[in-house]
Structure 1
Amino acid sequence: MPHATIVEEFPKTALSRRTGDVLAAAATGPVCLTDHGKPRFVLMTMAQFERLSGRTDGRTEDWTRDLSPEEQALFLAEIDERMCDI
């Protein structure tokens, strides 16, 4: 099973104060949310979760193979957003 590296860490209060920053970071990789300085939660895109849990068929990797990491993050975030609207 693939592993993930935490890309950024925020206190859980950042969810209400800096929502955009937290979500932008989560679009690029898993984000750790802390409570009183201790890791408590991980926030990530659905695509990232599916890759980690082995619940994906691999097609998104084919679609994003030639994109830069930044383009991949934007592409996958857009897919996640549209999937939530369905």
Structure 2
Amino acid sequence: MSDVFVEEFPKTALNRKSGDVYDAANSGPVSLLDHGVSRFVIMSRRIFDERYSVNDPLIARDTADIPEDEASLLAAELTKVIESDD
């Protein structure tokens, strides 16, 4: 079993032992096996957000909510674009 996964279950466990699968998914990613081969991963929304959503560079924000360091970078880049000859 990979260190990434908390547990591995055959995909039939979703029908037969769904509670066990969901409990394990609350602790970390769970691998679902199809004929012994990992095919799917189930994880809680909290874990998904922690791993993939927090560092998403495509976050939409109100300009009033932009952190000061990002606002400075944005203003500098916008100034470059405005002052360029293109």
**Once the two structures are aligned, what percentage of the paired residues are identical?**
51
In structure 1, the residue matched to 2:80 is none
- Higher gyration radius (CA): 2
- Following the alignment from structure 1 to structure 2, what is the Cα–Cα distance between the partners of residues 46 and 30? 10
Q: Helix, strand or coil: the match of 2:31?
A: strand
Deviations 1:39-70 (A, max 9, x none): 000000011111111x138xxxxxxxxxxxxx
Which protein, 1 or 2, shows the higher relative CO under an 8 Å CA cutoff with sep ≥ 6? 1
CA RMSD in angstroms comes to 1.6
Q: Which runs of structure 1 show a deviation greater than 3 angstroms over 4 or more consecutive aligned residues?
A: none
How many equivalent residue pairs? 53
In structure 2, the residue matched to 1:49 is 48
- For structure 2, the residue ranges without an aligned partner over 5 or more in a row are 56-86
- For structure 1, the residue ranges without an aligned partner over 5 or more in a row are 58-86
1:44 counterpart letter in structure 2: M
In structure 2, the residue matched to 1:27 is 26
